[in-house]
Structures are given as C-alpha cells and as structure tokens.
Amino acid sequence: MSNPITTIAPEEAVQKLKYYQKGTFTVGNRLVAEADRSVQASRDRSNALTCGHRACQGCGEALGARYAIDAAMRATNNNLIAVNATGCLEVFTTPYPETSWQLPWLHSLFGNAAAVATGVAAAMRVKRRSDIRVVAQGGDGGTTDIGFQCLSGMFERNDDVLYICYDNEGYMNTGVQRSSATPPTARTATTAAVGPEPGNVFGTGKSVPRIAVAHNIPYVATATVADLHDLERKVTKAMSVRGARYIQIDVPCPLGWGAASHDTIRVARLAVECGFYPIFEAEHGRVTQVRKIRRQVPVIDYLKLQRRFAHLFKEGQEDPRVVRLQAICDANIAEYGLIDAVDEDE
Amino acid sequence: MLKQIEGSHAMAEAIALCRPEVICAYPITPQTHIVEGLGELVKEGSLVDCEYINVESEFAALSVAIGASAAGARAYTATASQGLLFMAEAVYNASGLGLPIVMTLGNRAIGAPINIWNDHSDAMSMRDSGWLQLFAETNQEAVDLHIQAFRIAEELSMPVMVCVDGFILTHAMERIDIPDQTAVDAYLPPYDPVQVLDPASPISIGAMVGPEAFTEVRFLAHYKQMQALRLIPEFAGEFARQFGRNSGGLLRAYRTEDAELLVVAMGSICGTIKDTIDEMRDDGIRVGLVTIVSFRPFPVDALRNALAGAKDVVVIEKSVAVGMGGQLADNIGAAIRNLTRAPRLHSAVAGLGGRSITRASLHHLFRQAAVQPWEGTHFLDLNEKVVGREIHRKRKNRRSGPTAENILRQLAIATGLPAAE
Ligand SMILES: Cc1ncc(C[n+]2csc(CCOP(=O)(O)OP(=O)(O)O)c2C)c(N)n1
Ligand code: SF4
Ligand SMILES: [Mg+2]
C-alpha cells in the first residue's frame, strides 16, 4: 500500500490524519518499514473524532474514544453509527455548529444509550442493512449506574451492539461526583476528603465487566489507553462478532483525578501494572485471555500521581487504608492470574 | 372488513396495516393486549419486515423507538399510566428530536394509590411534552386514528400519542371495520425521514443547544403543532373520502346548533354524554356536545367558534391537576377568555380511577350548571361523607395513617364487611 500525499475533498466523510503531533512516536513511526507501522502513522487512517473538540488537555476519554471508534470504523469499512450517552464525551465533541464526529452520531439521553443503539440495530436489520453496525458509548456513570438497566436488557437480548464504556471512575461532566465505578478512598465532590475515613468508602461499587460476562454475551473486554494497540485489537475483534459486546476502557481524567495532563498514559499504565485495573477478555461467559503484568508495581506508585488520593499521604503519614487498596490489587492479580508463577528452578 | 373483535386487537390489526418496522413491547394494563396482538402478528408471519422487541422497561421501549426512528424506521410502542411516567424523559426527548414515533396510550390513572382503571391523568401528565395527543371516542375511531397518526407524525416529523380509554375501549368487544391493506397503503406512504443516521452522509443529532438557539428550537416545535391544526382536519378529510367514514379531526359537534348549554369532553365518555343530551333535548333543553379529538395541538380557534354562541359551558374531564383543577377546563378557559360574550365556564372532574359516570349524574350536573352554577372544580359523585370523616380523623389524630387505606376501611365498615384495624 502506498501513502500518496493527497488533498482531501471536503465532502469526504472520513477525514484523513493530520500530522500535527510533531516529535511523537506517531510521526516517528512513519520512518519504519510500512508493514511495521502503527495504523496511526497511516495517512489513510480514518479519524472518527477530529481535532477541535473541547476536552481537557490529556483527557483519557477523548483518546480512548478516538482509537476505539477509529478501529470500529476500519473494521466496518466506515459503515458505523454511534449512539452516545450524555457525559463529557457527548458535550466536548459536539459544540454545535461544530462536531468532531465523522460518522452518523446520535445523542438521546444519559441513561438510554444501550436501548437507543438496540433501536438503530433493529432498524438496520429490518432495512436489510445489517452491514451497518452500531456502537453505543457512555461514561461509567451512564453505564454502571443510570444506564445499567438498559445495558443489561441489551445484553440479555443479545442485540447486535458494541457498547463501549469510558471509565474515568466518576461523574466528570457534572463536576466529579462519585459513581459506582469510583474506587474506595478516592476523593470526589460527593465523597469529600474529610472526616475519619476521607474519600469513597470500601465495600461498595461494582464490576460491570464481570456482570457483562455473567450475561454470557459473545464478547467482553477491559482495555486501557495505556495500550492502544490492545484496545484497537479488541475493538476489531468485537466488530468481527455479532450480538451484544462490551468493552470498558480505563480512561484517566486529569481534571477529576487530579493528575497532570502529561501523565494520562502513565497513570493508566500504572493502574494495570499494579493490578488495580485488570485487563482481560471473555467470550460467552468465560475469561479467555488476560493481559499479564510484566513488572508489578506497588499501588502507591499509582495513587501518588493523583490528588484524589492525596489525603492518603498527608503529612508524610500513610493512611492504613492503602494496605486495603493493595489487597484489592493482589486479589485482582490472583483472581485473573495476572502474574505467572515463577518457577524456582528456572 | 367488519369484525367482532376486542378493541385492543382491532388496534393491533390497524397498526400492523401501517407496516411498522420496529415495535417495542412492554406490558402494562390496560395497553398490553395491543402489543400482544402485534407480537402474534409478527410471530405468525402476517406482519413482515418488522422487528418486535421485548424490552426491559418503558424507558427502554421508547428509547429503542427513538433509535429506530432516527435510523429511518417506522417505530411504534404503547404504554399506559406508570409506564408513561417511567418513560417520561424519553417522551420529551422523542419530541425534542422531532422523531415521528406513534404510541398508543391505554389511558389509566396514575398512582399512588395504585389503580389500573381508566382516567386521563397519564395523558395529562405529558400534555406539554411536545407530542400530539389524539383522543379516540370509539374503538372504530381508535383504529382510524392510528392510521391517521402515522400520516400526521411523518408529515410533521413529530411524535403522536393516540389516547384510548383503558378497559372501556381497550377491552370492549365490538363490531369494528378493519380497513384493508391496499386502502391503508394508498393513504399512508412509506416513511421518508427528514433526518436519518446514515454512514453515507454522516450527521450529528442531539447536540447541546444553549440560550442562543433554544427559544427558536422550541418555537419551531410549537409552530409544527400549529401546522398540525391544519393538517389534522386535512388528513381526516382525506381519510373520510377514502374510507367512507368520519374519524379524527380537531373536534366534533353534536347537536350544538341553537344550544345554550354546551358540554365539552374527550374520549369514550362522549357516548354517554350524547345519550344524556338526547334525553335532555327530549325535555326541551337546548344542550349539545363538543368532543375534542385533538388535545395537542389544542384547537383554540375551532373551540372559540364552537363555544361562542353558548351561555354555559360544562367541561367534564377524567383528570385533575391537584391544587388547580381540571386541565381541560383550564385550557378551555384560556381559549375563550377574550371572547366578547364569553360563556360561563363550569368545570367538573369525573370518572377518576375508573369510577362510572352515569347518565343520572350527568343529567343532574348539566341542569345545575344553568340554574345553580358552581365556582371552582366540582368532583362528580364525590362521597362527601367518607371525605368528611377522613378530614375529621386527620384533625383529631396526628398519626392518622395512610389516607387511601383509611378510606377503604371506612367503606368496608359501611358495607358491613370486616375491616382490618
Ligand atoms: C437523567 C439525568 N440525570 C443526570 C444528568 C446530569 N449528568 C449529565 S452528564 C453526567 C455525568 C456523566 O458521568 P459519566 O457517565 O461517568 O461520564 P463522564 O462525564 O464522566 O465521561 C450527569 C450526572 C442528566 N443529564 N440526566
Ligand atoms: S473532565 Fe475529565 S473526562 Fe471530562 S473532558 Fe476533562 S479530562 Fe476529559
Ligand atoms: Mg465518568
């Protein structure tokens, strides 16, 4: 495949990549052999979410959405329709008359994205256009809380929808409130860092990926913006399957987490490497693959980059609850087998 | 074709004739038989090219319809009462997005106290949602209104709610003329959406709109309903020419020529009112009825014309805006307020939660309006004794307990049944 430099006709639905990220891996990538290049280095890659949107600098959700929807568009030859729940992604991408979306996109409500997507898929089936596929996307609040009933209904009916949850562990669009995806001890606007046990409490919350697996749907995966290739692979795989599919992506939110904009990938990587955010795939109710931790890091490394956990390390004193957070990581590692047992003899 | 058939099944057949492409079903009495009927038609293969989706809630039912409609499919759902409230957010969303979904509302009271019987509280709760609301007087009209509803909805790109009285219509076995497919096809062209999700020409739908444009968007929604004031009679006329019977329109007059007293009502109660009027006419009383078919858009001009000559207008409605009075009376009051010789308006609330509205009570009510007019809202056939006792109890005893249960206990005692303490 050649990469001729072409001018882009304005009527073209899919905007070509612009090389404005000078000095990054993306550009450097173009210098390697074509077969080895990242798809991001291709001038022909689609660009579902164009620049100019209003996300904060370093927004993990914007990054995750762009890669996920790009991959889904590629997998479907651009025959893709997106349904979006209310939330940051919806707000920052459509400051009309500007829109960042290069594919047909519908925002209805906060809690109904899965059901609206079911409707779109039904329309495509009845019109004998099942080649046109549907993704629904929402934040963790729109997915694990208010949209949960619609989501479970869509799963249970095995509707032909890929639902992508951008998990930034809180209601960011309304100013960082607690959701059922907010981790214990995290400070949010509704779990203030005050009192004897500052931040979010232990023993609450839910794992929607595991609940999705319990629906026995064809495909469930967790992913992270720290590994975009893995994310692309999972979306591509999801699009090769019919029926209800669920991908949840860990997308750090610099604003809500109190992390530096340039640390988004780092924070996301540490979440995986400490065992806090297990990355796995499941098919038809069974976990089929996990992303192994190459070099386990203590959870503290992850926590310390984020001001939402700052109260755990006040005045040089470590909150004893850090041990419990480490225990969560260890439990994840054990449950999903994230670290291979080292053979003493080797 | 004439059929002896249950109202709900007749409606299901009529809806099927409209070739809906996506139907979302969720059970709630008294609407359930309609979606059951449709489910059977799809399953047995007589309704083809239709996706029938058993959803997990009414909120999902309408949301699925929203997605389907935005993707260019003709979408239908049905609900009642609590179901309509459960989907409320999506009700506003569908009209806000301008999606021509048709929904049947099997009119039923809203709890608490939970009550499955007919009144119009559910329809009234969404009267300002931007949907058109058409009320059927008979099951024949219910059948016909559904066919017209798809036509109106798609012409305007606005959703339409067809309101049919729960049980009284939905569960009544009647002789109904079900139109044939060719006639319906001739009347209702295929859905040609004004906006559609299409990868060949991608658009974004549902963006945030700020103060700079919100008023204009709302104005245009209002403008569409004003257009509907012209379209509804036009399509009803076309329907009459094609199917040979009058159904729908904005409103209908019954024995109103020379009437001094006019009754205004909506839905199935109009049959009983007509019988009452016939009897009163026999007694020489100049009384007539105006039946409102289109509650949204509210036919202000047509109503002003219809009511202008009367001395007294009695509005009888199956709903109450608690703390204000009857919504229909309120809307009619607004419609006639600047008439030079506006009739006196008398508001009555009747038939709440399925209470029978008898001819005897109507006779009394209509006669009283002229000779002993009342102020405010009259609750027809209110059991004043029971109410009085409950008010007294509450005054005497702080921990007086739940109102509904107290009243039921009173009634049990009055009928000699054992009452729980
Ligand atoms: C029914 C309803 N309740 C509440 C809101 C307010 N609301 C809008 S976006 C949002 C937060 C979204 O959080 P999440 O889904 O996690 O997405 P994020 O913004 O974090 O990406 C809330 C609470 C709403 N729009 N609708
Ligand atoms: S608040 Fe967080 S999720 Fe929202 S745009 Fe900013 S970084 Fe992204
Ligand atoms: Mg969130």
Those residues whose C-beta lies under 8 Å from the C-beta of residue A146, and which sit 6 or more positions away, are A110, A111
Confirm or reject: Cβ of A254 under 6 Å from ligand 2: yes
**Is the pLDDT reported for residue A24 higher than 60?**
no
Q: What is the largest CA-CA distance in chain A?
A: 65
Domain B2-243, what fold?
Rossmann fold (3.40.50)
Confidence band of A341 (pLDDT split at 50, 70, 90): confident
Q: Which residue has the tokens 């014309």?
A: B305
Higher pLDDT, residue B147 or A40: B147
In tens, the pLDDT along B70-128 reads: 999 999 999 999 999 999 999 999 999 999 999 999 999 999 999 999 999 999 999 99
What value does the mean pLDDT of chain A take?
90
Question: pTM of the entire structure?
Answer: 0.94
pLDDT reported for residue B163: 98
Residue with tokens 């949960």: A148
Q: CA of B65, closest CA in chain A: separation in Å?
A: 6
Chain A residues with beta carbon closer than 8 angstroms to that of B101? none
pLDDT digits (tens, 9 = 90+) for B124-135: 999 999 999 999
Compute, in angstroms, the gap from residue A170 CA to the centroid of ligand 1.
Answer: 9
Read off the pLDDT of residues A83-129 as tens digits, 9 standing for 90 and up.
999 999 999 999 888 899 999 999 999 999 999 999 999 999 999 99
Whether A81 sits inside 8 A of B199 (CB atoms) is yes
> What percent of chain A shows pLDDT beyond 70?
85
Show Cβ contacts of residue A344 under 8 Å, excluding neighbours closer than 6 positions: none
Place of tokens 């009267």: B127
Residue A105 phi/psi, 5-degree rounding, is -140, 135
Give per-residue pLDDT as tens, B266-289: 999 999 999 999 999 999 999 999
Q: How far is the CA of A252 from the centre of ligand 2 (A)?
A: 8
By Cβ distance, the residue of A104, A118, A125 closest to B203 is A104
In this predicted structure, what is the pLDDT of residue A41?
Answer: 63
CB contact under 8 A, A119 and B75: yes
pLDDT of residue B254 exceeding 60:
yes
Indicate whether B303 pLDDT > 50: yes
pLDDT surpassing 70 at residue A19: no
- Is the pLDDT assigned to residue B419 strictly greater than 70? no
CA distance B371 to B352: 26
Contact in structure between B390 and B403 (CB atoms under 8 Å): yes
Chain A contact present for B88, CB below 8 A: no
pLDDT digits (tens, 9 = 90+) for A211-246: 999 999 999 999 999 999 999 999 999 999 999 999
Q: What distances in angstroms separate CA B149 from CA B61, B139, B163, B190, one per listed residue?
A: 19, 15, 11, 14
- Of the two residues A215 and A28, the one the predictor is more confident about is A215
Complex-level ipTM beyond the 0.85 threshold: yes
Taking CA atoms only, the protein residue closest to ligand 2 atom 2 is A253
Q: Which residues line ligand 1 (CB under 6 A)?
A: A 61, 86-89, 110-111, 138-142, 166, 168, 170-174, 179; B 89
Provide the pLDDT for residue A52: 85
Place A37 in a pLDDT band, splitting at 50, 70 and 90. Answer: low
Q: Which residue of A has its CA nearest to B98?
A: A108
Identify the residue with better confidence: A1 or B293.
Answer: B293
Q: Is the pLDDT of residue B298 over 60?
A: yes
- With CB atoms and an 8 Å threshold, state whether B66 touches A119: yes
- Residue by residue, DSSP assigns B39-50 as HHHHHHTSS-S-
The span from the CA of B189 to the CA of B155, in Å, is 10
pLDDT of residue A343: 58
**CATH node for A10-336:** 3.40.50.970
pLDDT of residue B333: 97
**Residue B25: closest CA among B109, B85, B104:** B104
CA atoms within 13 A on the CB side of A210: 9
Model confidence pLDDT, tens digit, residues B20-41: 999 999 999 999 999 999 999 9
Q: What mean pLDDT, rounded, does chain B reach? A: 97
Where does residue A31 rank: exposed (0-12), middle (13-18), buried (19+ CB within 10 A)? exposed
Q: Is B390 on the interface with A (CB under 8 A)?
A: no
Distance CA A201, CA A178 (A): 10
Ordered by start, the domain boundaries in chain A are 10-336
Domain boundaries, chain B: 2-243, 251-379, 384-415
Q: Is B264 helix (H, G, I), strand (E, B) or coil?
A: strand
Report the pLDDT averaged over residues B162-175. 98
- Is the CB of residue B70 less than 8 Å away from at least one CB of chain A? yes
Give the span between the Cα atoms of A263 and A271, in whole angstroms.
Answer: 12
Contact list, A91 vs chain B (CB under 8 Å): 208
What is residue B33's predicted lDDT score, i.e. its pLDDT? 97
pLDDT of A290 = 98
Q: What is the pLDDT of residue B370?
A: 86
pLDDT digits (tens, 9 = 90+) for A244-274: 999 999 999 999 999 999 999 999 999 999 9
Question: What is the arithmetic mean of pLDDT over B207-228?
Answer: 96
pLDDT level of residue B69 (50, 70, 90 thresholds): very high
Q: How far is the CA of A260 from the centre of ligand 1 (A)?
A: 23
> Quick one: pLDDT band at residue A23, thresholds 50, 70, 90?
very low
Q: In this predicted model, what pLDDT tens digit does every residue of B221-250 receive, in sequence order?
A: 999 999 999 999 999 999 999 999 999 999
Give the pLDDT score at B338. Answer: 87
> Is the pLDDT score of A301 beyond 90?
yes
A119 closest CB neighbour out of B56, B67, B97? B67
Query: Does the pLDDT of residue A149 top 70, yes or no?
Result: yes
CATH number 2.30.30.100 given to B251-379 = no
Compute the distance between CA of residue A231 and CA of residue A239 in angstroms, rounded to an integer.
Answer: 12
pLDDT computed for residue A20 by the predictor = 44
- Tell me if B199 and A104 make a contact (CB, 8 A cut-off): yes
Which of A46-55, B202-211, B260-269 is the least confident region?
A: A46-55
